[in-house]
Each structure stands twice: as structure tokens, then as C-alpha cells.
Amino acid sequence: REDLTRIEGIGPKICALLVDEGIETFQCLSQTTVPTLRKILDAAGGSFRSHDPTTWPEQATMAANGQWDELERLQNVLNAGRRVA
């Protein structure tokens, strides 16, 4: 299992939700669609619904490919996983 909390917007509780759904690696997360991620968050209810998974697959692709510098640059313009102006 990889540390999915390295993805901006994913904390320990969301990581646990993803692992429960069988999403344990950056590669797997990179191939998970945003609508599927949204369903996981919505099903968890409460504050999980306020999280935006839009950039998670993109970030996970960079992590899976070892593109840590590129990932850091992207994360520098994100706030809780969301692109900010």
C-alpha cells in the first residue's frame, strides 16, 4: 500500500475510505474516475461530501510515475486539492 495522503486533499480518513474501496496505490487512484471518487465521498456522508476529488487522479498519475517535482509544483497551486486562481 502507498501513502495516498501525499495527494493534496487526501487526509488519513479519506485514505481509509479509499483503501476500504480497494484503492491502495497511486496507480489505482490514477485510474479511478472523478465520478467514482465523488460517489465514495458522498456515500461516506458528512464532511466528506465537501471534499473535491477533481485533481486526485492527475496528482496520482504524477506520483505513480515518480514525477515528484511536477507533483510539488501542482500542489503549490492547490488548496485542499482544488485549483485556486
What would the pLDDT profile of 5-48 be if each residue is shown by its tens digit? 999 999 999 999 999 999 999 999 999 999 999 999 999 999 99
- Residue 85 pLDDT > 80: no
Q: Quickly list H helices, the chain.
A: 12-20, 26-30, 34-44, 56-64, 68-76
- Residue 82 pLDDT > 90: no
- Structural domain of residue 17, as residue ranges? 4-83
Return the DSSP state at 78: E
**What confidence score (pLDDT) does residue 16 get?**
98
Q: Cα 48–66–15 angle (5° rounding)?
A: 20
The pLDDT confidence band at residue 84, using thresholds 50, 70 and 90, is confident
| Predicted structure pTM score | 0.93
Domain count, the chain: 1
Q: Which long-range contacts (CB under 8 A, 24 or more apart) does 57-62 make?
A: 57/29, 57/30, 57/31, 57/32, 57/33, 58/30, 59/7, 59/8, 60/4, 60/7, 60/26, 60/27, 60/29, 60/30, 61/26, 61/30
